[in-house]
Amino acid sequence: MIPEALQHLAHRDRVMGRLIQRVGPCTLKPANRRNPFEALVRSVAYQQLHASAAAAILRRIKALYAGKRFPGPADILATSDERLRATGLSRAKVAAIRDSAANTIEGVVPNSRAISKMSDDELLQRLTTVRGVGPWTVEMLLIFTLGRPDVLPATDYGVRRGFAMTYGWPELPRPRDLLEHGQRWRPHRTTATWYLWRAAELPAGR
């Protein structure tokens, strides 16, 4: 599927094609072993944080539950706010993770089997009813857990910065401008997103 996506992107957008040549093969591999609850917790932890800081918080969260690969909803609900806050989570993120846990138990957050049958739009509408879960959080789940092929997180700073650097914009594009340009990348906007993230990491002058 990826070679087909690269051919499509390069054919529809020459600038994107040059970026693909500079970056090399797409190595995006969804972590489909994660259930939806874990994916939401991870996405909440990463909100507005550098990746290394969020990863450290997640390590401390998992350390609270010895012998478990990752805590389940009942584990989170049985843990005090103080212990969760001690991992580095803000009060707002603790509240969001607790609400994600409660909504998972209630069935609002679907299980892995159910979620695989839902469309991107259905998931966006369902999951954004959970406290602290906005479109960006759902988009990260769609990309990194479900491997959906046509997701463009237009509000993501890294994507906007990568676009500005790649296309020579003096300022970050507005989300609506990015979405408009991204129409030409359909149905492979996830792959284009991955390359824009990589563009933001390229050394100057490369």
- Is 75 an active-site residue? no
Query: Residue range 119-143: average pLDDT?
Result: 93
Write down the architecture of domain 36-144 according to CATH.
Answer: Orthogonal Bundle (1.10)
Phi, psi angle pair for 201, to nearest 5°: -100, -5
Helices and strands: H and E segment counts in the chain: 13, 0
Three-state SS for 200? coil
- Which tokens is 180 given? 């408009």
pTM of the model: 0.85
DSSP string, 40-94: HHHHHHHTTS-HHHHHHHHHHHHHTSTT-SS--HHHHHTS-HHHHHTTT--HHHH
Distance, in Å, from the CA atom of 113 to the CA atom of 118, rounded to the nearest integer, reads 10
Q: Which fold has domain 2-29+152-199?
A: Endonuclease Iii, domain 2 (1.10.1670)
**Residues above pLDDT 70, as percent of the chain:** 98
Tens of pLDDT, residues 9-35: 999 999 999 999 999 999 999 877 789
Q: Which of 13, 81, 120, 156 is catalytic?
A: 156
Q: Which of 119, 154, 144 is nearest to 40 (CA)?
A: 144
Domain boundaries, the chain: 2-29+152-199, 36-144
| pLDDT band, residue 201 (cuts 50/70/90) | confident
Burial of 76 (0-12, 13-18, 19+ CB in 10 A): buried
